[in-house]
Amino acid sequence: MTKLLKTIVIVDKNEKFHAKASERYLHVHFIYTGHSWEGWVPTEYRRTNLHVDVNNEDELADYLNRIYEQLNPQHYKEWRLAQEEFWRLEKPNASVTKGFFDPLADAQGEWVCARCQLPHNTNPQRRIQDIKDFGYTLATDTNRFCKHCGKKTTHLLLLPIPRADSSGNGYETWTPAMRKRIIRVLGAWDVYEAANSNHCLPDHKFPEIRWDDETKADNPDTMSNKEIASKFQLMTNQRNEQKREVCRNCFQTGKRGTIFGIDFFYAGTADWDTTIPPKGKEAEQGCIGCPWYDIALWRKKLIEKLQEGE
Ligand SMILES: [Zn+2]
Ligand SMILES: [Zn+2]
């Protein structure tokens, strides 16, 4: 049973609805040392596959405690830099949308007036949709007083939290229940450390950078244990970020990753097999043999190899 942190106040137990976007939010107040934040966090958010049952105390506490940590103002600077990196590397041609993103991101989780604080554009909804599609979490209040333009207008609030993968798969997109189940099924076993850990999170073996639109995450709560074991492994968030980096590098350079600099691949070589399509379902074949793809299997094969030599 997860307990809601004492520094979290649920201002209004009733969810706010944004019917047009089928979104729901909860009005909360987060208290940090020397700082506090008040705003709406989503409880239903289709874009990142988020559905939180606010009547389930355990699930809600688990979710809000996590968002609370992600929103800790001490992470903001680092978060802002990571977003610049994302737009520069992955959305170099989206400068119009970036014009909308910047004021929202610079607001550090405060409401921004769509009428007077965002660029003038013939189709602003399109830009906001793009930002959501890129994995950002935004709350919308269609009727909020703006002290700058003196009118009741639509306001947007962008949460400065890790971007969910557009495939709806980043660890922040799990329902808390599903995340817990994956961890339980995999025995809380951190495959990198080869040890049990309370800090590990699900990692998709097949890296998201090689997914295409058809490889969408389809991870229903009904997924079988067998499916979970074949699709996921567990590692810390930090290790997961390292893996993302390795996989991005492989995608860009064709050089597969190593662990501890050990040049051992149980299938294939240090080079990505160029006869395999770089993206989409079939691309997964090219990941097999890379240590990062299935760390436990790689370790097993490596131990076998060492024993052969005895
Ligand atoms: Zn308020
Ligand atoms: Zn305004």
Say if residue 135 is in the same domain as residue 28: yes
Residue 40 CA to ligand 1 centre (angstroms): 8
Question: Chunked in runs of 10, what are the mean pLDDT values of the chain (310 residues)?
Answer: 92 90 93 95 84 90 92 92 87 94 98 96 93 92 95 97 60 63 94 92 88 65 88 89 90 95 96 94 95 98 90
Residue 86 CA to ligand 2 centre (angstroms): 29
Say if residue 276 is in the same domain as residue 152: no
Residue where one domain finishes, among candidates 110, 131, 164: 164
Residue 144 CA to ligand 2 centre (angstroms): 9
| Angle subtended at Cα 288 by Cα 244 and Cα 256, rounded to the nearest 5 degrees | 50
Residues 306 and 273: beta-carbon distance below 8 Å: no
Q: Which ligand is nearest to the CA of 117?
A: 2
Residue 123 CA to ligand 2 centre (angstroms): 17
Residue 115 CA to ligand 1 centre (angstroms): 20
Which tokens hold the place of 141? 């209040």
d(CA 171, CA 281): 20
Q: Which ligand is nearest to the CA of 146?
A: 2
Number of alpha carbons in the 13 Å side-chain half-sphere of residue 217: 28
d(CA 52, CA 167): 19
Residue 12 CA to ligand 1 centre (angstroms): 9
Residue 146 CA to ligand 2 centre (angstroms): 5
Q: What is the pLDDT, as a whole number, of residue 301?
A: 97
Residue 116 CA to ligand 2 centre (angstroms): 4
SS3 207: coil
Q: Please state the length of the chain.
A: 310
Which tokens hold the place of 160? 């400065």
Say if residue 284 is in the same domain as residue 176: yes
Q: What is the pLDDT, as a whole number, of residue 88?
A: 87
Residue 37 CA to ligand 1 centre (angstroms): 10
Residue where one domain finishes, among candidates 135, 164, 193: 164
Residues 263 and 291: beta-carbon distance below 8 Å: no
Residue 165 CA to ligand 1 centre (angstroms): 29
Residue 98 CA to ligand 2 centre (angstroms): 20
Say if residue 144 is in the same domain as residue 200: no
Say if residue 272 is in the same domain as residue 289: yes
In terms of residue numbers, what domain contains 258? 171-308
Q: Which ligand is nearest to the CA of 152?
A: 2
Residue 124 CA to ligand 1 centre (angstroms): 25
Say if residue 233 is in the same domain as residue 128: no
Residue 103 CA to ligand 2 centre (angstroms): 13
d(CA 50, CA 250): 30
Say if residue 158 is in the same domain as residue 177: no
Say if residue 145 is in the same domain as residue 32: yes
Say if residue 217 is in the same domain as residue 137: no
Residue 27 CA to ligand 1 centre (angstroms): 7
Q: Which ligand is nearest to the CA of 118?
A: 2
Say if residue 279 is in the same domain as residue 154: no
Residue 112 CA to ligand 2 centre (angstroms): 8
Residue 153 CA to ligand 1 centre (angstroms): 16
Say if residue 245 is in the same domain as residue 205: yes
Residue 144 CA to ligand 1 centre (angstroms): 10
Number of domains in the chain: 2
Give the neighbor-by-neighbor strand order of the sheet with 112-113.
Answer: 112-113, 152-158, 138-145
Residues 48 and 173: beta-carbon distance below 8 Å: yes
Say if residue 217 is in the same domain as residue 301: yes
Which whole-number Å values give the CA distances from 12 to 8, 32, 76, in the listed order?
Answer: 12, 19, 26
Q: Which ligand is nearest to the CA of 103?
A: 2
Q: Is 288 exposed, middle or buried (0-12, 13-18, 19+ CB in 10 A)?
A: middle
Compute the radius of gyration of the chain from its Cα atoms.
Answer: 21
Residue where one domain finishes, among candidates 164, 181, 208: 164
Whether the ipTM is more than 0.85: the answer is no
